[in-house]
Structure 1
Amino acid sequence: MKISYLLFLLLVPFFSRANNMQITNLEVISIEAVDQFAIIEMDVSWENSWRDAENWDAVWLFIKYTTDDTWHHAELNYVDGSADGHTSPMGGTITTPSDGKGVFLYRSAIGAGTVTFQNLRLRWNYGQDGITDFEDLTMNVFGIEMVYVPQGNFWLGDGSVVDVQGHFEAGTSGNAYQVTSESAIVLGGGAVGSLGNNNGAGMSNNGDFIPAPYNTISMDDYNDTQSQILPAAYPKGYQAFYCMKYELTQGEYVAFINTLSDLQAQNRFEEDPHASEDEAARRYTLTGTVPNVVTTTPHVPAIFLEYFDGAAYADWAGLRPMTELEFEKACRGTLTPVPGEYAWGTTNLNNTFPTIGSIGQVNEGLTAGYSVVSGNAWFNNVNALGAAIRAGVFAANPNNTGRESAGATYWGIMEMSGNCWERAITVGRPEGRAFEGTHGDGELNSLGNATNLDWPGHSGSNGVDDVIGAGYRGAGFDFPSPVTLNMRVSSRRMATSFYYIRYYDDTMRMVRTAP
C-alpha cells in the first residue's frame, strides 16, 4: 500500500550557520507498508561548496525520530553493490555507508560556489527501527558540512630543528616520517622505520598551567629508547575519510542537546567545571532546558567542550573522533612538509588586529586588518574579542580566495591552526592506541555518554566518561603561550595531555571513515 504525504508527520527544517547550510521542503512522499520503508524528500543547499580534481566538500545527512519524546537514529537503506533506493538530486551524488547511519551528499562534477540540490530522496527502513505506526511521529533531518580527504601517502612531522614540541620524526633522524599504509607502526625505540617523537622534547606535562585536581602528569609513553606498537586497527590517515569542515559550532551542539533527555542534557552542558570563567565574555551562550535550549551565538565554536562531550556528539551523529595522525593528513595533505608550517602550508602569519563587523550575527566577519598575502588565524596577537570567532570567518571574506589568506588546509578544511584546541586521539598512551575507529550508532546511554567500547574514556556501564587517551592539537586562541608555536601542524605540545575540566578555548571536530 502506497500512501502520499502524511500531514501528521512533523518534519522540522535544519539550519547550520557555518556556510548557511539549509535543509528545507521536507516531505514524506510515500510509505510502503508491506516492505516497511518510507521515502523522504528534501532540498539541501550550502555556500562555498566545491569539487576539484582531488577532493570535494559534502554534507553528512542523518535522520532522528521520536514517538514519545525519546529521540532515535533512523536506519537508512544500504544495499552492497547496487542502488540503495535513494534518489540523487540533479548535479549531486549520494554515497551511503554500510551501517546506514546517514548519507554523504556532494557535487557530481567539478565546480565551486553555492549549491542547491532539489528533490533529494532518502529511503528510511522504518521497519528495521521497530516503527509500526506513523501517528504522532516526529522526525528531523540534520546535516553537517564535511570535506573528503582521499586515500594516499602523507607525511608526519615537518623536520623542524628548533622549537620542537614532540614532533613526529622518522626514527631519530629528525626528518619527516611517511605513512604509506594502515599497517601497524613501531613507535619510538630509535630503529630505522620507527615513528619517533624527538624524545618528547617540548611536550607538556599538564602541571605547567592547570591547577590540581584537574591536572594529571602526562607524556608520551615512548621515546628514543622505549618503544610501543601502534596497532593496524588505529586509523592512521592513509585510508580516505571525511572530516568536519569547521569546528563543532554552538548551533550544532544545541540541536544535539535538544534531542536528549533531561539527565543526558545535564551531563552534556552543565557549567561545572568551567574554570570559573565568565561564559558570556567567552561567547558561550547556551541557555534553557530541553527541548528548548538556545544559543545567541550559533555560528561560534562549541567551547567549554570536554572530550567526553564531543565523543557523545560524535556517537549521536554517526561519526567518530579524529586521530592525531589524521589531523596532520587533514592539514598537510600529500605535500612535502615545510618546517614550522601552519595549516595553510607556510610559516607566514598575519599579526594585524582586524576590525570585526556584525559581531554576534551569523554574518560576523572581518572588515579590515586581515591579510590577503599571509596566513590568517584567530589567536591572541589578532584577537580583538578575547574569545572564539565565527567558524569559517576567513574563508567568508571575498578577498581571501587562496589557501593561505583563507587559513585553509590543503583539502579546504577551516581553522585547524588557531581559534580552538581540538581533541584528537593520541598515539602516546595505551588508551589512545586501543582506538579502532568504530563509528557512532546514533544512540547514547541513559547518562548521555557515547557507548563505543574502543573509544578512549570508555569505563564500563557509564560509557565514555573519561578523557585519558584524547589529547589536543591545533591550538586555542590564547592558551597556553606561545600560541604561535602551538598552532603549527606538527606541534604535539599537548598531544597526550588530558584535563578534567571544560575550558574556554576547547572544542572538537569529528570525522568518518569514507565508505
Structure 2
Amino acid sequence: MKKISNQLLKNYKQIVLFLTLLLIAHSPKVSANNITIENASIVSQNTGEGTAMIGFDIKWSNSWRVSFGPSNWDAAWVFIKYRVNDGDWQHASLSYVDGTGANDGHIVPTGAEINSKADHLDIESYSHGVFIYANSNLSQSTDNANYTGAQLKWEYDYDGVLSSDNIDIKIFAIEMVYVPEGNYMLGAQKTGLEQKYIRNTASDDPITITNEGALDFAIADDPDDGVSKTDYSLAASFPKGYNSYYMMKYEITQQQFVDYLNTIPTTEINNKSRIGVQTTYRFGLSKSSNIVSSIYPYLPMNFMKWEDLANYLDWAALRPMTELEFEKAARGSDSYNIAGQYAWGISTIVTDVYTYSNADAEDEGIATNYGDGQGNAICLTTSSSYPVRVGIFSANADCSSRAEAGSSYYGIMELSGNVTEFVINAADATGALFDGTHGNGEFDGFNNFDVSSWPSDSNGIGKKGGSFGDVANRLLVSDRGLMTVTLVRNQKFGGRGVRTAP
C-alpha cells in the first residue's frame, strides 16, 4: 500500500546516493513474441519531487501504424515492478500523460509516442504503465519498432521508497494492438453453425453497435431456430467494443506467465501453476531454486483457469475482455458480417493436418499444408493435439493475406484457434456487472486478483475462439458454444487481456 509522503523522507542527499547505487534494473529478454527491453538503468532523480527516471531501449518485430483500412497501430504496454530490500515485488506508480506533456515527465524516444492517462483507479493521477508506439505511419517489416533512450518517470516517493532501501527493478513489455472507436456488427446470421449466438431482440439479424449506451440483445436458443430466444440487457457501463481499447496481439505466452510467477512469493508458485503436475500438451513450465522457466517460452500458456488469467491481468494492470470486445476485435469496425465468419474475415479454413519446422523453437513454423487463400488456424482438424507458437502463421514466407496469417481485422493473432480464451459473459447476471475496471498490479492478502467488479467464480465468464482440441465451428467469431465454464485447469484453456485506451 502506498504510504510514505515527502515529509517523511529525511535526507534527500542520501536518497541520491542510495537510489543511484542500489537500484539494480533487471529487464527480461523475452516478455512477449520477440519484444526486447535492453539497457535498463536509473538515469536521474529529482529528490524534491521524490521521482526517478527509468531508462531503457525497446524493440519488437512486425510493428505498424496505418491511416487507412483499420487505421490503427500496434504498441508496447510497458510497466515496472520493484522490490525493497529483497521483499515482495510491487507495482511501480508512474506519472501519467495528460495529452499536453504538462504532467507526464516521461522522455519519449525518437519516432515514438508515449501515452497512458490516469484512469478511475489511478489515485492522485498516477499511472500503472504506458503505451509506446510509432508516431507516424509505419509499414510492417522486421524489427521496425526500435526505440532507444526511452525514460519513464517513477513516483518512488508515492510508492513509499526510503533513502536506505535497496531496490531491485524489473521492466516488462507486452505487445498490444489498438482497436479504434467505431461501429461494428455484433452476432451472427442464422446458419446452423454458430451455437447460441447473439442476435437482435426483434429479428434473427446481427446488431449494429453504434455507441456504448445500454443495450438489449437476445441469444438464439437453437442455431436452426429463428424464433426461440432469450432476451438480455446490458448497462451503459458494460464495455461493448464501440469505444477504443488495446488488446494483446498474441495469446499470453508461457514466458509471460513465467514473468508473473517469478514476481510472486515462492510459496505460491506451485499453487498458481501446474508445475510438478502437468507435463503433456506442451506445458513446459518447471521450477529450480524457486526460479520458474519454460522450455516453450513462445507457446501460449495453456492449462489456465479463470483465476490464473485474472491474476495475470491484475498483475499486468490490464483487464479481461468482454465477449462483445472479442467480436469487435475480430470482425472490425464496419458492417462486414458474413455467414460462418472466422476471425480472419471469411468462412473458409484449412482442413489438412499441419506439419512443423523447427518444432519447439523460437522460429517454429508450418512445414506443410499451409493454407493458400484460406484461413489458417490450429483446431481439431489441423493440429497434432497441442498448441503452437503464437504468431506462427503470419511468420510464414508464403503469407500474403489476413486469412493466411490467421489475423483479425486489426492485426490480432489467433483469435480463432490455438487455445480458447476467457471472456466476460454478457448473457450472465454476474458478467453483466462488469464495468471495465483495470487491474492495479497488486493482489489481496492471498496473492489473488482483488478487482471487485471482476467475476470471482465460473459465473460471469465464458470462452471464445476455440482451440487445438475443438471442431472448426467453435472457432467462428459469433459462436457461443463454449460459454459454459468450470473452475478447472484444462490443456485447451488460455487467454489474453485488454486495456481501455487512454
TM-score, with structure 1 as normaliser: 0.87
Q: 1:467 aligns with which of 458, 471, 487?
A: 458
Aligned to 2:7: none
Cα deviation for residue 172 of structure 1 reads 4.2
Cα deviation for residue 135 of structure 1 reads 4.0
Q: CA RMSD in A?
A: 2.0
Is the CA contact (8 Å cut-off) linking 1:354 and 1:382 kept in structure 2?
A: yes
Comparing 438-447 with 165-174, greater Cα deviation is found at 165-174
Is the CA contact (8 Å cut-off) linking 1:421 and 1:473 kept in structure 2?
A: yes
Q: 1:61 aligns with which of 78, 100, 107?
A: 78
CA distance in 2, matches of 1:327, 1:226: 21
Comparing 364-373 with 176-185, greater Cα deviation is found at 364-373
Cα deviation for residue 168 of structure 1 reads 1.2
Aligned to 2:133: 106
Is the CA contact (8 Å cut-off) linking 1:286 and 1:295 kept in structure 2?
A: yes
Aligned pairs for 1:254-333 (under 5 A) are 254-270=258-274, 279-288=278-287, 291-333=290-332
Aligned length: 470
Is the CA contact (8 Å cut-off) linking 2:31 and 2:259 kept in structure 1?
A: no
Is the CA contact (8 Å cut-off) linking 2:426 and 2:432 kept in structure 1?
A: yes
Flag the 1:122–1:17 CA change in 2: closer, same or farther, 3 A. closer
Is the CA contact (8 Å cut-off) linking 1:185 and 1:230 kept in structure 2?
A: yes
Aligned to 1:398: 397
CA distance in 1, matches of 2:441, 2:32: 23
Flag the 1:48–1:348 CA change in 2: closer, same or farther, 3 A. same
CA distance in 1, matches of 2:55, 2:388: 34
- How high is the sequence identity, in percent, across the aligned residues? 36
Aligned to 1:364: 364
Aligned to 1:418: 417
CA distance in 2, matches of 1:349, 1:248: 24
Is the CA contact (8 Å cut-off) linking 2:218 and 2:229 kept in structure 1?
A: no
Q: 1:498 aligns with which of 479, 485, 500?
A: 485
Aligned pairs for 1:25-64 (under 5 A) are 25-53=39-67, 54-64=71-81
> 1:295 is aligned with what amino acid?
S
Provide Cα deviations, 1:291-339, integer angstroms capped at 9, x if missing partner: 4011100111110000111001110100000000000001001232011
Cα deviation for residue 441 of structure 1 reads 0.6
Is the CA contact (8 Å cut-off) linking 1:256 and 1:313 kept in structure 2?
A: yes
Aligned to 1:208: none
Aligned to 1:128: 158
Cα deviation for residue 381 of structure 1 reads 1.5
Provide Cα deviations, 1:110-149, integer angstroms capped at 9, x if missing partner: 1122211000111001111011226421000000000000
CA distance in 1, matches of 2:333, 2:428: 27
CA distance in 2, matches of 1:369, 1:45: 32
Secondary structure in structure 1 of the residue aligned to 2:61: strand
Q: Which runs of 5+ in 2 are unaligned?
A: 1-11
1:78 equivalenced with 2:108 (yes/no): no
Provide Cα deviations, 1:245-303, integer angstroms capped at 9, x if missing partner: 0000110000000100134323311469x8xxxx3330111111674011100111110
CA distance in 2, matches of 1:224, 1:390: 41
CA distance in 1, matches of 2:435, 2:149: 37
Flag the 1:57–1:144 CA change in 2: closer, same or farther, 3 A. same
CA distance in 1, matches of 2:350, 2:26: 41
Flag the 1:79–1:390 CA change in 2: closer, same or farther, 3 A. closer
Secondary structure in structure 2 of the residue aligned to 1:6: helix
CA distance in 2, matches of 1:57, 1:123: 23
Q: 2:111 aligns with which of 91, 100, 106?
A: 91
Aligned to 1:199: 221
Secondary structure in structure 1 of the residue aligned to 2:250: coil
CA distance in 1, matches of 2:271, 2:453: 21
Cα deviation for residue 474 of structure 1 reads 0.2
Secondary structure in structure 2 of the residue aligned to 1:331: helix
Cα deviation for residue 382 of structure 1 reads 1.7
Q: Which runs of 5+ in 1 are unaligned?
A: 187-194, 204-222, 458-465
Is the CA contact (8 Å cut-off) linking 2:191 and 2:340 kept in structure 1?
A: no
Moved over 4 A (4+): 1-5, 200-203, 223-226
Flag the 1:361–1:226 CA change in 2: closer, same or farther, 3 A. closer
Cα deviation for residue 202 of structure 1 reads 8.2
Secondary structure in structure 2 of the residue aligned to 1:41: strand
CA distance in 1, matches of 2:474, 2:190: 13
> 1:124 is aligned with what amino acid?
W
